[in-house]
Amino acid sequence: MDDSVIEFGEATNLIRGGLERSAFDETAEAIYPTSGFVYATASEAEAAFAGEHDRYIYGRYGNPTVSVFEERLRLVEGAESCLATASGMAAVYASLACQLRAGDRVVASRALFGSCFVILDEILPRMGVETVLVDGTSLDEWQKALAGGANAVFLETPSNPGLEVIDLPAVAAAAHEVGAMVIVDNVFASPVLQKPLDLGADVVVYSATKHIDGQGRTLGGAVLGSEEFVKGPLMAFTRHTGPSLSPFNAWVLTKGLETLRLRVDAMGRSAADLANRLEADQRVQTVRYPFLDSHPQVGLARRQMSAGGTILTLDLGTKQKAFAFADSLTIVDISNNVGDSKSLVTHPATTTHRRLGSEMRAQVGITDGLLRLSVGLEDVEDLHKDLDQALG
């Protein structure tokens, strides 16, 4: 049967999207660990460098194994174009730096991953870019900040670690009114639970280190958007600044995509179950999870996301109690990653979000008693027993 007549669904894309077999007809995707490529003639090299001939030139520009990952993720996201990077932060930085210049203005939500905050709060201002941080849940604050004009809007929803949910269609509409490009860090939702491009975003960035690998093996990242943006300013920037993803890591991430839906769904079911049970536990002060009725934006979360995700937070009141709890866990590991098949717990105030300082942490709800729990693929009853004994 000619499979070109079948429009692949998500599951088929996750398994077969972008698959290009070599002359050896291997079943699994091939790895091409090469830094460069050769030309039959000098004039062929000349034509390649002049852009007259679309082919691989050098590993910093592109690689066939990296292309398979990019194409597979592009199909799943429903984007025109995708560029893979060596880490999530390389994707975040390139998506902003490729288009901004001194005098430009960025409006961003305040509840951001620690390193994203450093880019917006320290690195871009040093280059003469003004950054304005707003409470992402307040449309009023977005509108006031955008009234001053903006070139780009950057936000994370749900946010790390506070799980704030931002109204994507509303913020995108306000941003587009002033001509700002909307960049969404979709790491917490993952490509299978939320489609920012359908909700008004222009560009989506990922740390592929999280759910896409999801097995603790490699760093990676990706930027997805229009062909005009990705093949234009973004590639012009990345080709010469070098945040390229290695072929081997691209292959690991491609294989990660094959099981992404299964892992994220199973981890999400366990996370929702544990969030419900923890919320009913008197020993826990507060539990936050996007699909819990007690979440301040639960309605919005249910509209924008197809499930609540794999991450929840719990507040135990004090740093001492949070540390004692984390230290008592016997299955869940203390680690700063998320989206992994192994359940991981983090104390954001002293690790991932240390750089924010106490005042900023207070503004985004990162208290000293807060723990972030990334729920993995273990038996949910085992995880429940572990959390229960550690609370004791």
Ligand X SMILES: *Cc1c(COP(=O)(O)O)cnc(C)c1O
Residue type at 366 in one-letter notation: I
Phi, psi of 380 (to 5 degrees): -65, -30
Residues 43-58 as b or e (16 or more Cβ within 10 Å = b) = eeeeebeeeeeeebbe
Closer residue to ligand X in complex, CB, 212/326:
212
Kindly tell me the sign of the dihedral angle through the C-alpha atoms of 224, 230, 233, 236: positive
Nearer CB in complex with ligand X: 375/390: 375
- 224 vs 391, beta carbon nearer ligand X: 224
**301, 295, 334, 253: which is closest to 91 by C-alpha?**
253
Shortest separation between residue 283's beta carbon and ligand X, angstroms: 28
A 10 A CB-CB count for 127 gives: 11
Contacts to ligand X by CB under 6 A: 87-89, 92, 113, 115-116, 156, 160, 185, 187-188, 207, 209-210, 219, 221, 338
| Count of Cβ atoms closer than 10 Å to residue 294 Cβ | 11
Least Å distance, CB 114 to ligand X, is: 9
Q: Which is nearer to ligand X, 99 or 249 (CB)?
A: 249
Give the nearest distance from C-beta 347 to ligand X in angstroms. 15
Task: Tell me how far the alpha carbon of residue 51 is from its chain's centroid.
Answer: 32
Structural element, H or E, at residue 224: strand 221-225
Residues across the chain:
392
Contacts for 108 with CB less than 8 Å, ≥ 6 apart: 120, 131, 132, 133, 134, 153, 154, 155
Taking CB atoms, the residue at the shortest distance from ligand X is 88
CB of 116 to ligand X, least distance (A): 6
Q: How far is the CB of 155 from ligand X (least distance, A)?
A: 10
Taking the complex as a whole, the smallest distance from the CB of residue 87 to ligand X amounts, in Å, to 3
Parallel, antiparallel, or unpaired: how do β-strands 203-207 and 221-225 relate?
Answer: antiparallel
Query: Measured from the CB of residue 2, what is the shortest distance to ligand X in angstroms?
Result: 39
Nearer to ligand X by Cβ, of 96 and 391: the residue is: 96
Q: Is the dihedral of CA 150, 151, 157, 160 positive or negative?
A: negative
Give the pair of three-digit tokens for residue 183: 């960049």
CB of 113 to ligand X, least distance (A): 4
Is 207 or 304 the residue whose CB approaches ligand X more closely? 207
Which residues, 6+ apart, have CB-to-CB distance to 289 below 8 Å? 163, 271, 272, 275, 295, 308, 309, 311, 312, 313
Count CA atoms within 13 Å of residue 237 on its CB side.
Answer: 20
β strands within 306-367, DSSP E: 311-315, 333-334, 344-346
Closer residue to ligand X (CB): 223 or 332 = 223
Nearer to ligand X, 119 or 146 (CB): 119
CB nearer to ligand X: give 18 or 221.
221
**344-346/333-334 β-pairing:** parallel
Q: How far is the CB of 118 from ligand X (least distance, A)?
A: 11
Q: By C-beta, is 340 or 386 nearer to ligand X? A: 340
Region of 214 on the Ramachandran plot (φ > 0 left; ψ -120 to 50 alpha; else beta): left
CB of 12 to ligand X, least distance (A): 27
